[in-house]
Amino acid sequence: MSAQVSRIAEIEAIPLRAAPVDPSDLDGSVETIVVRITDEDGRQGIGEADAPSRIVRELVLMDDLFDWSRGLRNALLGADPFEIPALHRTLYEATIYHGRRGLGIHALSAVDIALHDLVGRQLGRPAYQLLGGARREAITPYATIWPGGVKGRTIDQMMEAIAAQLRRSLELGYRAVKMEVVFGDLVSDRELVECVHEGRRLIGEDIVLAVDFGYRWRDWRAALWTLDRVEDCDIFFAEATLQHDDLAGHAKLAERVKTRVAGAEFAATVHECREWLERGRVDVLQPDVNRCGGLTELRRIADQAALHGALVVPHGWKTGITAAAERHFQAATENAPFVEFLVPELYASPLRAELVRPEPDVRDGTIHLPTEPGLGVELVEEAVTKYRVD
Ligand code: MG
């Protein structure tokens, strides 16, 4: 098969926001920034970043300042999109003065996802084939159970909300769930142990259960106390136990508990994830494709994790673009047993529900490998018009 070179002709950065925004909650899917790349033949690829949309837009569209501080759009125009890892390196170096971690990498993530979509469409092949090809037979999402912030509710009311979402997830066919027990001062650690046991009782023994503790502890021994007492709940991983930057604490915890310790959801680049593996000693890395550097970087992170005997189960709480990108990542990755899934039927998240089509079918807890070119989802123009904020 020979493909004609079709160079990059345009790059757009489109900020979208759905009302109402609630700064006291933890829902990052209320806003997004879509990067759309068009080639000379009019084909388009889309990506997104989970970071403040106006700032990412500026990082994409900004004027070049000097050779290490360029706008991503300027650095991409006229390029052949096909050699994505080389292009990723070029963009990293063209933005390294201002962008080498954090927001700069978030912006690069959106571009990299869009390049995978575009090149897949140029070749007529699903994006996971650009990541090395299928390493599994189906996608296995886990449904995140997020009852929302406490906001004056009692623990019984919180657990009722969790129970309702757990029931709905099982009805929808999910076989893996993650319970968010982000209760703060509403419960003691001893009461929290009961909540986790209640979660396991509600779903039975056959469903995979992960738990997100929402950065509850600053003392690894307190985290250890709790994890020891929920060992019989067969938790697949314990997420966000200690503070994100407390790698020494994570290492001490991971050494002592039987449960897999997970972290790194805010991490950008393979370099930060390396710290989590070598100093933090975690069993599960959770970088998000839309923040860590895109599919190219997530591939490198997973390969590095494999050398450390670790798993990668990416964070994902944005629109259907991120959900699609993570399906392609998992399709091509052996040490990624699950990907996080914002289940559109469980949450009133307009951008997640409306921005792209089609939504994949979940049957018996799995999703078929993607077959359509690129990411396999199309931007819904009416939704773009409705939510656009620039
Ligand atoms: Mg989380």
| 149 CA from centroid of ligand 1 (Å) | 13
Positive or negative: CA dihedral 22, 313, 351, 145: negative
The pLDDT tens digits for 218-234 are 999 999 999 999 999 99
- Whether 321 contacts 140, CB under 8 Å: no
Tell me what pLDDT residue 21 has.
85
Give pLDDT tens digits for 134-172: 999 999 999 999 999 999 999 999 999 999 999 999 999
For 61, 163, 237, 252, the CA distances from 173, given in Å and listed in that order, are 42, 16, 21, 37
Calculate how far, in angstroms, residue 179's C-alpha sits from the geometric centre of ligand 1: 10
pLDDT at 4: 83
What is the whole-number distance in angstroms between the Cα of residue 249 and the centre of ligand 1? 18
In the chain, where the domains are located: 8-128, 131-380
CA of 326 to the centre of ligand 1 (A): 16
Does the domain made of 131-380 have the CATH classification 3.20.20.120? yes
Model confidence pLDDT, tens digit, residues 312-351: 999 999 999 999 999 999 999 999 999 999 999 999 899 9
CA 298/CA 339 separation, integer angstroms: 12
Model pLDDT, residue 1: 45
Report how far ligand 1's centroid is from the alpha carbon of 239 (Å).
7
Å from CA of 240 to ligand 1 middle: 7
What would you measure as the largest C-alpha separation in the chain, in angstroms? Answer: 63
Measured in Å, residue 214 CA sits from the centre of ligand 1 at: 6
145 C-alpha vs ligand 1 centroid, how far in Å?
Answer: 10
Residue-level pLDDT at 262: 98
8-128: what fold? Enolase-like; domain 1 (3.30.390)
Q: Crossing angle, helix 320-331 and helix 294-307, to 10 degrees?
A: 40
φ, ψ dihedrals at 244, nearest 5°: -55, -35
**C-alpha gyration radius of the chain:** 20
Q: How far is the CA of 60 from the centre of ligand 1 (A)?
A: 27
Q: Quote the ligand 1 centre to 363 CA distance (angstroms).
A: 24
Q: Ligand 1 centroid to 356 CA: how many Å? A: 23
Neighbouring C-beta atoms of residue 224, cutoff 10 Å: 18
Ligand 1 centroid – CA 180 distance (Å): 7
In this predicted model, what pLDDT tens digit does every residue of 229-250 receive, in sequence order? 999 999 999 999 999 999 999 9
* Same fold across 8-128 and 131-380: no
User: Tokens standing for 75?
Assistant: 């650095």
